[in-house]
């Protein structure tokens, strides 16, 4: 049974690429364009891990993270953003909200490694 990953991003190209990559790695990917869709998917799919963007068209990523935590407590969440933030600052300010903070400039392999780490940590 492959693990389910929920991906929230308002850019279709990003969603497509990440879904193709993670599917090839053996995961089942559920993509959402808006926070509303993402929250609905959590209730329906109960994902093993969530990846979300920080800047969203119709909502704030951090606020959405709080709602996700409420909807499914304990699920690992990766914040994936193209906004350049100093990693030290990000770790300090986001540590209590998300399990990992990654920039979109990183290779997909790094993201995959982080997903494996978080999922294996849980199991």
Partner 1 sequence: MRRIYGFFIAISAVITFAALAAVRNINQTVTTSDWVNHTHATIYAVDRVVNSAVTGDSAARSFVWTTDPRDLVQARGEFNEMSDHLESAKALTRSEGLVYQQILRLDTLAEQHAASAIALATRRQGAGTATPEMRLKADPGSATLREIRHLAGEIRADQFELLNQRDKSAYLQAQTTRWVVGTSVVLDLLLFAMVAWLIRIDLKTRQKLAETLRTSNETLETRVHERTRDLAETNARLLTENLERKWATQSLEHQLRYNQTIVNAASDLVLVVTKVLTVTRINPAVGTRIGWGESDILGRPLADVLRGDASQPTDAIIGQIGQALQSGRELHHQAARVVNHAGVELPAIFTLLPLRDNDKVVGGVLLLQLTSTAGRVPNGGNS
Binding residues (CB under 8 A) for partner 1: these are 11, 13-14, 17-18, 20-21, 24, 82-84, 104-105, 107-109
* Helix 35-45 with 61-71: angle, nearest 10 deg: 20
CB 36 to partner 1: min, Å: 23
CB 70 to partner 1: min, Å: 29
60 CB neighbour count, 10 Å cutoff: 12
1 versus 13: smaller Cβ distance to partner 1: 13
8 versus 68: smaller Cβ distance to partner 1: 8
DSSP calls for 25-84? TT-EEEEESSHHHHHHHHHHH--SEEEE-SEETTEEHHHHHHHHHHHSTT--EEEEESS-
14 versus 118: smaller Cβ distance to partner 1: 14
CB 73 to partner 1: min, Å: 31
CB 63 to partner 1: min, Å: 21
């Amino acid at each position: 049974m492959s693990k389910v990953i929920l991906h929230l991003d308002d850019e279709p190209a990003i969603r497509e690429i990440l879904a193709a990559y993670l599917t090839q790695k053996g995961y089942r990917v559920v993509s959402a364009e808006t926070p509303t869709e993402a929250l609905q998917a959590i209730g329906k799919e109960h994902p093993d891990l969530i990846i979300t963007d920080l800047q969203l068209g119709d909502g704030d990523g951090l606020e959405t993270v709080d709602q996700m935590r409420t909807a499914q407590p304990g699920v690992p969440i990766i914040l994936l953003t193209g906004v350049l933030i100093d990693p030290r600052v990000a770790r300090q300010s986001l540590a209590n909200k998300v399990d990992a903070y990654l920039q979109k400039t990183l290779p997909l392999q790094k993201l995959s490694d982080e997903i494996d780490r978080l999922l294996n940590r849980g199991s």
